Chain A
């Protein structure tokens, strides 16, 4: 298995533009997590899906952020409109069963909003 695949690896966009980050979890995993990492705030959990259903989105910063998981093999995180303070590395992770099992991370998307 190729592991968790995220795209793009790097994204530079102008303030106000829409940004869509993509994630393909490991096949057979039924839990998916989106995290954001910055120097100031560390790794923050944004949203958690289980069996494609959003279970906890309390970490989503504001209404500009939305996430979907239309099927077991694909998830998106969208920011509209983007702002400079959204600049961070966004990680997607999946685990086989739940939060009690190892989470495998993608390589992340480094987002810069100018």
Chain B
């Protein structure tokens, strides 16, 4: 089993739609969680950290369920500019940091 798994996608949604991405991780000792965004042929960039209580940043909401080892990202009112690949990232820390990226989910927002 891979350490971090995501919905394979791709997701093709119309502008204004709400879309949700799911991610699961295998190491129950993982401590830090993030969502990164990667545009085509660009480097990944941090979208938002994921906190235990859940957190929101504008149209983006991240949730963490430690019991189920599950992370989610919700995007409301999708914009064309949201088209990208979304990467779930877990610091699968044991005695040292091990920052693992999921395979990513591709999103295309269609006019």
Residues of A within 8 A of B (CB): 31, 33, 35, 42-43, 45, 48, 50, 55-56, 91, 98-100, 102-103, 105-108
24 contacts between A and B (CB under 8 A): A35-B101, A43-B44, A45-B100, A48-B96, A48-B99, A50-B97, A55-B96, A55-B97, A56-B98, A91-B44, A98-B97, A99-B32, A99-B97, A99-B98, A100-B31, A100-B91, A100-B93, A100-B97, A102-B34, A102-B46, A102-B49, A103-B46, A105-B44, A105-B45
| Closest chain B residue, CB of each to CB of A59 | B98
Output the nearest chain A residue to B34 by Cβ-Cβ distance.
A102
Closest to B89 in A: A103
B side interface size, CB within 8 A: 21
Whole-angstrom distance between the alpha carbons of A33 and B44 in the complex? 13
Dominant SS among interface residues on chain A: strand
**Nearest Cβ distance between residue A98 and chain B, in whole angstroms?**
5
**B39 CB → nearest A CB, Å:** 12
Chain B residues in 8 Å Cβ range of A105: 43-45
Task: Decide if A48 touches B97 in the complex (CB within 8 Å).
Answer: yes
Cβ 8 A contact of A48, one of B34, B43, B98: B98
